[in-house]
Amino acid sequence: MGFAKLSLKGRALKLLSQREHSRLELQRKLAGHVEEGDDLNAILDELEKRGFISVQRVVESVIHSKARRYGSARLVQELRTKGLDDDTLRSAAEQLRDTELQRAHALWLQRFGSQPQTPQEHMKQMRFLASRGFSAEIASKVLRGKGFEEE
């Protein structure tokens, strides 16, 4: 007749088994399931203390799964929505900065593959890279072929 009712801690562990979640994400997802006598903060504190909730793993997970498709600005914004602190966001941005040009170039190459021939094509390619979270400076370098040999 269906699943037994999961405890709040059980729900949290189930969510964490599917993917990494920040504390704020878990708070948001579990808030509607809190019943009288439940202490959500105490449960989250215990999960953090035991290493089930890890800010570093959340950062690594987002970067690993999305860095090929998005620029630093977009990734940092996603991490911000997960409730991570400013120091963590700065550290993630620094980590991403080293590969920003290469990631933008690879994405551009996959999507377009050749230099724009008209101003309209140029703007289209710039908008594409900007929409993925790459800065105008990075997008310009990619479109000028700066730092890359002809492939």
- DSSP per residue over 19-73, as a string? S---HHHHHHHHGGG--TT--HHHHHHHHHHTTSS-HHHHHHHHHHHHTTTS-HH
pLDDT, tens digit, 9 for 90 and up, residues 89-147: 999 999 999 999 999 999 999 999 899 999 999 999 999 999 999 999 999 999 998 65
**How confident is the model at residue 17, as a pLDDT?**
95
**How confident is the model at residue 148, as a pLDDT?**
57
Is CATH 1.10.10 correct for 7-53? yes
Higher-scoring residue by pLDDT: 2, 145: 145
Higher-scoring residue by pLDDT: 151, 25: 25
pLDDT, tens digit, 9 for 90 and up, residues 19-73: 999 999 999 999 998 888 889 999 999 999 999 999 999 999 999 999 999 999 9
